[in-house]
Amino acid sequence: MLTYLIRRLLLMIPTLLGITIVVFSVMVMSPGGIGGQLQADTMNMKPQERKAMMDYYNKRYGLDQPAPIQYLKWLNNVSPIGFEVKDDGSYGRFSLTKGMSLGQSFMYGRPVAEILGERIPITVLLNVLTIPLIYIFAIAIGIKAANDRGGRFDVSSNMIMLGLWSIPTMLAGVLLLGFFANVQHWHWFPTAGLGKRDAQDMVFMPHWGSLWDVIKLGLGVFLGTAFAIALARFNNQVVRLWVAAGIGMAAGAWMAYAHNGFLWINWIFLPLLGAVILVGLAYIASVPFRAASLGLVGMSLGLLIATQFVGQGYVRGFLLDRIWHLVLPIICMSYAGFAGLAKIIRTSLLENLSSDYARTARAKGLSEQDVLWVHVFRNSLLPLITIAAGLLPSLLSGSLIVENIFSINGMGQLAVEAVKGRDRELVLSITWISGFLTLIGYLIADFLYTLVDPRVTYD
């Protein structure tokens, strides 16, 4: 295993070189070449000013030198070993400890490392919150659907997951903004960014005018959750469905009342939609799933009702302001992911549940739960590990569509800006980091294969 790891690590070097050479060659062969945007920006200058500006760019970034020399200089800068670079741009002695430098950005005129240091935490925050949600929902739904093959939950969840997976992210983002962040409809969420400017001066945690307001909110959450869970565990299905329909219609009517402007279709469509959703959740055969779904709805409704009785003096605080801004982007980034992953988990579990070793385990007298969790689930993790190999680079690559729709200055938006501006240093740095993380992700996935499946060995 150690020999295999060393070999894979050594193979990363030519792979990264190949990736960066391809990207650099594409930039060179594109119309205008590297720094083409810089030349376009100087077209309105006087000839003397334009010449002085281009001389400055050529001296600082070496744009007047042959393309191979430019690439070798960049490679020397990002390599931890190589020739030391002096202040005037000339090269000194060869050093094994010269350190790494990602260079200066053409567009921003700042060190690339500083720019990445500002953008990376934003993208990491989005993905750290999104990825656990995707896997929790996908694993739970996939396991339940596989256990209930051909049943009510399996059929309904397959239809819902297929519908969610089919909705383009750009359409979902625009619809969420158009309805839930628009002043003409429900202005419940902000339209852009990750926080308001005045939130930087707020206290970190939310603050209420009195302790009684906090008690009201706590009671609202507790009573709403308790009632919803009690309803989910109620055995009489007819009564449970009628109560759920009534709550759904009331919630839909409240939503129609909160709409800016009277529309008669809202008073018909929204109560019916609320009733259908709540009845669907109350109709779930699995008690744990039913309790979790209705409990989440009850907690939300209880909190919303309690906020109507809170007095003056409420300060949202930095934490809630950040969460408030993250709700819509996280919904956009997660719904398609857990929908597709749930289908993959279901297929993998069904394949292993019908295999010979699962039938042998049942013949020995093991319960279906033991067969699932002790034998089948572990072997079904292989597709999840393969998909998870791409999670590490996605932490930095960002979601271009979501970041553009919600005006979030993350890595996805930065990569597009760098490509449009032909920013050599920025494009190559992003490519190098993303390629390195991709290779590390595949290496970790190969190692996890050996932990999950003993038959996999690299000796």
Q: Which two tokens stand for residue 133?
A: 């949600």
pLDDT of 448 reads 79
* pLDDT above 90: residue 119: no
Residues, the chain: 459
**Which domains does the chain carry?**
1-30+113-200+334-459 (1.10.3720.10), 208-314 (no CATH)
The angle subtended at Cα 19 by Cα 14 and Cα 20, nearest 5°, is: 100
Q: Which residue has the higher pLDDT, 38 or 254?
A: 254
For the stretch 203-252, pLDDT in tens is 777 777 778 888 888 899 999 999 999 999 988 888 999 999 999 999 98
Residues 98-104: what's their mean pLDDT? 80
Alpha helices (H) along 202-316: 211-232, 237-258, 264-282, 287-307
What is the Cα–Cα distance from 335 to 356, expressed in whole angstroms? Answer: 35
pLDDT of 207 reads 76
For the stretch 249-289, pLDDT in tens is 999 898 888 887 777 788 888 899 999 999 888 888 778 88
pLDDT of 50 reads 72
Do residues 406 and 328 make contact, with C-beta atoms less than 8 angstroms apart? yes
Q: Which residue has the higher pLDDT, 177 or 39?
A: 177
What is the Cα–Cα distance from 141 to 155, expressed in whole angstroms? Answer: 12
pLDDT of 333 reads 86
Among 157-161, 295-299, 373-377, 448-452, the minimum mean pLDDT is found in 448-452
What is the Cα–Cα distance from 34 to 25, expressed in whole angstroms? Answer: 10
What do you get for the CA distance between the two ends of the chain, in Å? Answer: 5
Residue recorded with tokens 């003409």: 184
For the stretch 123-167, pLDDT in tens is 888 888 888 888 888 888 888 888 888 888 888 888 888 888 888
What is the Cα–Cα distance from 160 to 139, expressed in whole angstroms? Answer: 15
Round the average pLDDT of the chain to a whole number and report it: 83
In the chain, the percentage of residues whose pLDDT exceeds 70 is: 92
Q: What's the gap between Cα 402 and its chain centre?
A: 9
Question: 199 pLDDT band (50/70/90 cuts)?
Answer: confident
Tell me if the pTM is above 0.85: no
pLDDT of 229 reads 93
The angle subtended at Cα 376 by Cα 161 and Cα 439, nearest 5°, is: 70
Q: Which two tokens stand for residue 263?
A: 């529309």
Q: How many CB atoms lie within 10 A of CB 120?
A: 17
Do residues 35 and 61 make contact, with C-beta atoms less than 8 angstroms apart? yes
pLDDT of 299 reads 93
Q: How many CB atoms lie within 10 A of CB 89?
A: 11
DSSP 371: I
* pLDDT above 60: residue 398: no
Do residues 381 and 452 make contact, with C-beta atoms less than 8 angstroms apart? yes
